[in-house]
A and B are shown apart, each in its own frame.
Chain A
C-alpha cells in the first residue's frame, strides 16, 4: 500500500489485539475450571499464567520450538490468504477445507508418480498439482456465483463435503496402497518434504512465505488487485468503470483455491502420503487467521505465526500445566467470535471508529445478491 497512515494502522491492530486479549481472559476461566477436573481437583488461580508461560516457552523457548511454530504456521498462512484475498473481493470463502483436501490429495497422486525423480523436480511438480487442484476447487464456486448467483458460502460448504467424501472414497478404494494397516496412498518418495538439519523446517515454508509478498503485491500494486478490491468494495461501481465483476469473482476464487491447495499439498508432502482419514483444521483456521490479520497479507503472516505458536507450544502446556491442548481450539474460537462481533469489542473498550470494516460486511451481508456483468 502506498501509505501506512499511523491512524489506520492503529485501527487495524487494535481490534485484533483486544480480541486476543479477551479470548485469553475467557480461556483463563476454562483453564482454572480444568484444574478442577484434573487429578488434584483444586482451584488454582495462577494456572492460566503457568499455562500461557509454557505455551510461550514451547514455541519461542528454543530454536526447535521456533521451527515447530513456523512449520505449524506455514499452511495457516496459505489458508489465511485463501480466505483473506477472497474477502478483499467481497467473497466469503468457507471452502478452504475442500480446497486443502483436493490440493493435498492431488499433490499425493503427483508425488507418487514422480516419487523416483530427484527432489528438485518431484517437490515442485507435486506442489504444482496441489495448486492446480485447489484452484479448480475454488473455480467451481466462483463460476457458480458469477453466472447463477449461487452464494459462495453455500456452494463451498457443499463442496467441502463432496470433496472430502470423494477423496476418502478414492483413497479407500482406487488409490489404496497395499501393505499398510490403514487406508492410505503409496508414499510420495522424493517428493516428501523432509526436515532440514535436525529441525522440522522444510523447503515448503519458503513457498508459503513467498505467497505473502506476492499477494500483497497483487492486491495493492497491480491493476488486477485494484479490480479485485474495487469489485469487493462496490461491484456496481466496478461494472460502471468497465471492470468485469464476474470474471474477477471467478479469478479470485480460483486464486484463493490455489493458495489453499498449496497449503494442503505442503501438509501432505510433509507427511509423505495421503491418509484416507485426513482430519485437518487448517481450512477453517484460515478464517480466524484472515480475520485476525484484517485480510491484509502482512497481518495474515503475523496471525498465522500466532496461531502456529499456540499449536507448537500446546504440547509443553499439556505436560507442564496439565491443561489439555484442546484449549487452543477454544482460544481460537473465542478470538473468532470477538473478531466477528467487532462492534462488541469496540463497545467494551469504548473505541471509536467505523463499525465493521469492508471484510466484515462481506460476512454479514445479505445473501443471494446477484451481480451483473
Chain B
C-alpha cells in the first residue's frame, strides 16, 4: 500500500473570470468542492453566483480560468457537455412539464431506449425507483407532475440530475419556493445525497440556511470571493458583513411606536376566492396610525384575498373596510389610492411593475395622470424624468439610467422601484405584501428601515408575510390568520413568542387532532399535493 494521498477535490474552479460589457461578473474566482461536500455559495443578488454557475454548466464561456473535475482539466462548451461530465443543475424555476408523469419528465432528453423506436419504460421506472431508494425519497414514477407539491417537484428535478448520473449537483436557491417544513425535508434529502458521495453546490442568500446545511460557505461579493468559512467558525452577522461589505444590522431597531387613531378598520369582512369559496371569513381588525400590524400565517390561508379586498383588486362579499373613517369596500382601486392607500404587492412582476417599461415610467405607474407628471392629458416627460432621478438617488436603485426597462434590474432593485413609488406619497395606510420575498440582506435591511420610518411618520402599516421572522422583526402587533380567520391578535416583540405563533399558524389554536382528521387524503405517499393547510381555503 502506498502512502495515503488525499484525492483531488471533485470540482475545482481556478481563476474564473467572466466579463460582460461594462462589468466584471466574475473576477478570478477560485472554488473547490470536495466529494460528499455541501458547499454553499452565498452572495447578494447580482454578486456573480449565477454567472459562475452558468460558466460551470456551459451556458456562458469564461474569459479566463480553468475547471478541473477530479483533478482533470475539462472544457465545458454547452449544457450537454456539462451533463456528460456529471454536473447537474436544479434551477429555481422548475423545468418540468406538468401534464407528464415523473418518469416521462425524467426521461425527457435522456431517453432510455428499448430499441431505436420505443422507450424502455420498464428499465426507466426501475432506475428511478432504485435512485429514490438509494437516496431516501421514494417517488411514484407514474404520478403526474402537476399533482405533486412544490417540494416533491423539486425532488423530481434532483432525480432528473441523478438519472443523468450527476456527481456535482448545483441547486439555485432551492428553498425560495418552499415552505419551512418542505425546507426541512429537502435539507434531509441533501444530507443524504452528500452522505452518498454527491458534491452539492447550494446557492442561497439566506444566512441561517447556509449555516444549517453547508459544510463550507464561500461568500461572493461584486464578482470576487471575499471569504470561505466553516459554519462552526462564523455566524449570521459575520456572513452578512462579508456579503454586503459593511456591518449590517440584521435586527431592525424599530424603537417604540406611538399608535394613534385607527386608520384602517376591517369589520366582519368576508371575501370569496375565484372559485367562490369563502376564503376570508368574518374578519375584523384595526390598523392604527403609526403602527405596524403583521399578519402571520402559512401561505394560502386567505391572506392574498384579504389584501386584494383591501386594495380593491377583489370585491368583498360582506363587511366593511374603513379607510380614514370612510367605507371604501365598494370603491375602485384608484379611488382607494387617492384616499391614502399605498400597496406593495406580493407578486412584483405580475402586479407591481411593467417589466418592459423604463424605470421612470414604472415610478409613475400609479401617479402618471396627476400633476406634475401630466398636464391635462399630456404627459410631462421632464417632470417624470426629474422625479425618476430623485427617486433613483433617494432609494438607491442601482441602474445605469432611468430609461432602462425595469425587467433588466435585479429583484432587489425592482422592489426598490415599487417601494420608491409607494412610499413617496402621503399615506394613511400602507399594505406591504411579502415586501422582501427573494431579496438579499442589503435590500431587506433597506426596506425594513423604510417601513419603520414610514410608520414613525404616522402611516398605519399592514404587513403580510410568510416569513415569520419578518413579522416578528417589524410588527408592533401580530394577527395570526388560519383558514380565513384571524385566530389570534397579540402584541409584537418582546412579548410575542415564536413557537406559540408557529403553532397557531399550523393549527389555528385548535386541538391538533381536529386538524389531522382532514389530512388523510394527503398523507399516504407524501408525494400528492399537500392540501392539509390550504384545503379549506383555496
Interface residues on B, range: 20 to 34
Alpha-carbon separation in the docked complex, A373 to B351 (Å): 13
Which of A102-110, A121-129, A237-245, A319-327 is near enough to bind chain B? A237-245
List chain A residues, Cβ under 8 A from B182.
none
List chain B residues, Cβ under 8 A from A2.
381, 385, 403
List chain B residues, Cβ under 8 A from A241.
333, 365-366
Q: Is the CB of A230 within 8 A of B378?
A: no
Interface check B354, CB cutoff 8 A: yes
Interface check A119, CB cutoff 8 A: no
Q: Is the CB of B365 within 8 A of A358?
A: no
Contact with B along A181-221 (1 / 0, CB 8 A): 00000000000000000000000000000000000000011
User: Are A233 and B385 also in contact (CB < 8 A) when A223-B379, A240-B333, A242-B366 are?
Assistant: no
List chain B residues, Cβ under 8 A from A234.
350, 353-356
List chain A residues, Cβ under 8 A from B353.
234, 237
List chain A residues, Cβ under 8 A from B368.
223, 226
Interface check A3, CB cutoff 8 A: yes
User: Are A223 and B374 also in contact (CB < 8 A) when A239-B333, A240-B313, A240-B352 are?
Assistant: yes
List chain A residues, Cβ under 8 A from B366.
240-242
List chain B residues, Cβ under 8 A from A373.
333
Alpha-carbon separation in the docked complex, A373 to B334 (Å): 12
User: Are A230 and B354 also in contact (CB < 8 A) when A2-B403, A223-B368 are?
Assistant: yes
Nearest-neighbour CB distance to chain B for A65, whole angstroms, equals: 40
Interface check A155, CB cutoff 8 A: no
List chain B residues, Cβ under 8 A from A230.
354, 357, 365
- Give the one of A5, A234, A237, A243 with max B CB within 10 A: A237
Alpha-carbon separation in the docked complex, A342 to B378 (Å): 34
User: Are A223 and B345 also in contact (CB < 8 A) when A233-B356, A239-B313, A240-B313 are?
Assistant: no
Interface check A34, CB cutoff 8 A: no
CB contacts under 8 Å to B, within A230-254, are 230, 233-234, 236-243
CB contacts under 8 Å to A, within B307-349, are 311, 313, 332-334, 337, 343, 345
Interface check A332, CB cutoff 8 A: no
Q: Which residue of B lies closest to A234 (CB)?
A: B354
Q: Which residue of A lies closest to B343 (CB)?
A: A240
CB contacts under 8 Å to B, within A1-21, are 2-3, 5
**A240 partner, pick from B351, B357, B369, beta carbons under 8 A:** B351
List chain A residues, Cβ under 8 A from B343.
240
Q: Is the CB of B403 within 8 A of A5?
A: yes
Interface check B276, CB cutoff 8 A: no
Interface check A222, CB cutoff 8 A: yes
Q: Chain A's interface: helix, strand, loop or mixed, by majority?
A: helix
Interface check A318, CB cutoff 8 A: no
**B365 partner, pick from A222, A224, A236, A237, beta carbons under 8 A:** A237
List chain A residues, Cβ under 8 A from B4.
none
Alpha-carbon separation in the docked complex, A224 to B333 (Å): 17
Q: Which residue of B lies closest to A224 (CB)?
A: B377
Q: Is the CB of A221 within 8 A of B378?
A: yes
User: Are A226 and B355 also in contact (CB < 8 A) when A242-B337, A242-B366 are?
Assistant: no
User: Are A223 and B369 also in contact (CB < 8 A) when A233-B354, A242-B334 are?
Assistant: yes
**B350 partner, pick from A3, A229, A236, A242, beta carbons under 8 A:** A236
Nearest-neighbour CB distance to chain B for A302, whole angstroms, equals: 23
Q: Is the CB of A240 within 8 A of B377?
A: no
Nearest-neighbour CB distance to chain A for B464, whole angstroms, equals: 15
Alpha-carbon separation in the docked complex, A243 to B352 (Å): 13
Alpha-carbon separation in the docked complex, A230 to B337 (Å): 18
Interface check B104, CB cutoff 8 A: no
Q: Is the CB of A237 within 8 A of B379?
A: no
Alpha-carbon separation in the docked complex, A242 to B333 (Å): 5
Nearest-neighbour CB distance to chain B for A104, whole angstroms, equals: 31
Alpha-carbon separation in the docked complex, A373 to B379 (Å): 24
Interface check B44, CB cutoff 8 A: no
List chain B residues, Cβ under 8 A from A221.
378-379
Nearest-neighbour CB distance to chain A for B427, whole angstroms, equals: 15
CB contacts under 8 Å to A, within B353-373, are 353-357, 361, 365-366, 368-369
Alpha-carbon separation in the docked complex, A242 to B339 (Å): 12
Alpha-carbon separation in the docked complex, A222 to B379 (Å): 5
Alpha-carbon separation in the docked complex, A240 to B311 (Å): 8
Nearest-neighbour CB distance to chain B for A218, whole angstroms, equals: 9
Contact with B along A103-141 (1 / 0, CB 8 A): 000000000000000000000000000000000000000
List chain A residues, Cβ under 8 A from B379.
220-223, 226
**B377 partner, pick from A3, A223, A239, A372, beta carbons under 8 A:** A223
- Give the one of B351, B355, B385 with max A CB within 10 A: B351
Alpha-carbon separation in the docked complex, A30 to B354 (Å): 44
User: Are A226 and B361 also in contact (CB < 8 A) when A2-B385, A237-B354, A241-B366 are?
Assistant: yes
Q: Which residue of B lies closest to A1 (CB)?
A: B381
User: Are A3 and B351 also in contact (CB < 8 A) when A223-B369, A223-B377 are?
Assistant: no
Q: Which residue of A lies closest to B384 (CB)?
A: A2
Nearest-neighbour CB distance to chain A for B323, whole angstroms, equals: 15
Nearest-neighbour CB distance to chain A for B312, whole angstroms, equals: 8
Nearest-neighbour CB distance to chain A for B263, whole angstroms, equals: 20
List chain A residues, Cβ under 8 A from B334.
242-243
Alpha-carbon separation in the docked complex, A234 to B352 (Å): 10
- Give the one of B332, B353, B354 with max A CB within 10 A: B354
**B351 partner, pick from A233, A237, A358, beta carbons under 8 A:** A237
Q: Is the CB of B403 within 8 A of A236?
A: no
Q: Is the CB of B361 within 8 A of A242?
A: no
CB contacts under 8 Å to B, within A30-78, are none
List chain A residues, Cβ under 8 A from B350.
234, 236-237
Nearest-neighbour CB distance to chain B for A281, whole angstroms, equals: 32
List chain B residues, Cβ under 8 A from A358.
356
Q: Is the CB of B333 within 8 A of A222?
A: no
Alpha-carbon separation in the docked complex, A41 to B387 (Å): 70
**A222 partner, pick from B337, B351, B378, B403, beta carbons under 8 A:** B378
Nearest-neighbour CB distance to chain B for A331, whole angstroms, equals: 31
Alpha-carbon separation in the docked complex, A373 to B333 (Å): 10
List chain A residues, Cβ under 8 A from B385.
2
Q: Which residue of B lies closest to A231 (CB)?
A: B354
User: Are A3 and B365 also in contact (CB < 8 A) when A221-B379, A224-B377, A242-B333 are?
Assistant: no
CB contacts under 8 Å to A, within B209-236, are none
User: Are A237 and B352 also in contact (CB < 8 A) when A3-B403, A223-B379 are?
Assistant: yes
List 7 tightest A-B contacts by C-beta distance, closest first: A242-B334, A240-B351, A242-B333, A234-B354, A241-B366, A223-B369, A241-B365
Task: Name A residues whose Cβ lies closer than 8 Å to a Cβ of B.
Answer: 2-3, 5, 220-224, 226, 229-230, 233-234, 236-243, 358, 372-373
13 contacts between A and B (CB under 8 A): A2-B381, A3-B403, A223-B374, A226-B361, A230-B354, A230-B357, A230-B365, A233-B356, A234-B354, A237-B351, A240-B333, A240-B366, A242-B332
6 further A-B contacts with Cβ under 8 Å, apart from A2-B385, A236-B351, are A221-B378, A223-B379, A234-B355, A239-B351, A240-B343, A240-B352
Task: Name B residues whose Cβ lies closer than 8 Å to a Cβ of A.
Answer: 311, 313, 332-334, 337, 343, 345, 350-357, 361, 365-366, 368-369, 374, 377-379, 381, 385, 403
